[in-house]
Amino acid sequence: MSESRVRIGLVYPELLGTYGDRGNAVVLTERCTRRGIAAELVEIAASEPLPDSLDLYLFGGGEDNPQSLAAERMRASAAALTRARAGGAVVFAVCAGFQLIGHQYQTGDGEMLEGLGLVDVTTVGGAPRLIGEVVVEPDPTLSLPTVTGFENHSGRTTLGPGVQPLGRVVHGGGNGDGSDGALGERLVGTYLHGPVLPRNAALADFLLGWIVGADALTPIDDHLTDALHAQRLASATATGWRARIQELRTNRG
Ligand code: GLN
């Protein structure tokens, strides 16, 4: 940590906030505060350069046009982010943000958005859009419970050789090839909105663990979050079964 207070950066919320990803920043800050760990939510407006002093950088999702503006601004602040990363800063990026921490995203209209290349992934817009509930079984090495979220994107993401996904898609689209997201050094990318961290407390703590250390993550009352997690998981599974039954009926008829 760069200072005693955990500084959680919400990057360009007016451009990368279409899908409620602000909730990720709120949850991370709140989970620190409830444990007596001083934390601050720092919003970085799109008109400002990214500071190099934050402990965690959150990049949310967005439609292609605001995403294009965000890409330009992120590239202009690439040096600050590199300094922050060298100092141990964590990156958590969702959907448009995930695409932009990769090398590039080619939109469905053919526009090429250059990303930061923090992780070796490339994305191409495709059809149909992948919309709906997603269930991901995280890579076993992470020891995380099943992750649930919501997705709405056209991008199909290809991981470079040796890049590990966040996990395997059990329901939904994710990267488009049966996997979702990517893992890097103190970095997680995913297609999951929801927002995803209020729905998956263990994933929020996994990220915080990189900053404050696992020992500082004392138990907190998670009964509401756990109930939400169970409810969303059941809902996604039910949606999956309904879709499958519909498919079987259609194929039969
Ligand atoms: N614009 C991107 C796409 O459609 C990302 C969408 C999002 O962030 N939900 O793939």
pLDDT at 125: 98
pLDDT at position 2 is 46
* Reported pTM: 0.94
Determine whether the shortest distance from the Cβ of 31 to ligand 1 is under 6 A: no
Residue 20: exposure state from Cβ atoms within 10 A (0-12, 13-18, ≥19): middle
Q: Does ligand 1 lie within 6 Å of residue 106's CB atom?
A: no
Q: What are phi and psi of 20, to 5 degrees?
A: 75, 20
Side chain identity, residue 208: L
Three-state SS at 73: helix
* Band (18; pLDDT cuts 50, 70, 90): confident
Q: Environment class of residue 63 by beta-carbon count within 10 Å: exposed (0-12), middle (13-18) or buried (19+)?
A: middle
Average pLDDT over residues 189-203: 97
What is the model's pLDDT at position 236? 86
- Residue 113 CA to ligand 1 centre (angstroms): 12
Atom from ligand 1 closest to the CA of residue 151: 9
Domain spans in the chain, listed from the N-terminal domain onward:
6-217
Report CA torsion sign: 39, 49, 22, 90. negative
In 42-148, which ranges are continuous DSSP H helix? 64-76, 78-86, 96-101
Over range 71-99, report the average pLDDT. 98
Q: What is the pLDDT of residues 99-129, one digit of tens each?
A: 999 999 999 999 999 999 999 999 999 999 9
Sign of the dihedral defined by the CA atoms of residues 139, 82, 208, 1, in that order: positive
Confidence of residue 235 (pLDDT cuts 50, 70, 90): confident
Q: Across the chain, which distance is largest between two alpha carbons, in Å?
A: 64
Which CATH topology does 6-217 take?
Rossmann fold (3.40.50)
**Residue 92 β-bridge partners:** 58, 188
Whether 67 is in the pocket of ligand 1, judged by its Cβ within 6 Å, is: yes
Q: Which stretch of DSSP H or E encloses residue 203?
A: helix 201-212
Ligand 1 centroid – CA 158 distance (Å): 15
Task: Please provide the average confidence, as pLDDT, over all residues in the chain.
Answer: 94
Each residue's pLDDT tens digit, 121-173: 999 999 999 999 999 999 999 999 999 999 999 999 999 999 999 999 999 99
| Binding site membership of 195 for ligand 1 (Cβ less than 6 Å) | no
CA of 181 to the centre of ligand 1 (A): 13
| pLDDT value, residue 238 | 78
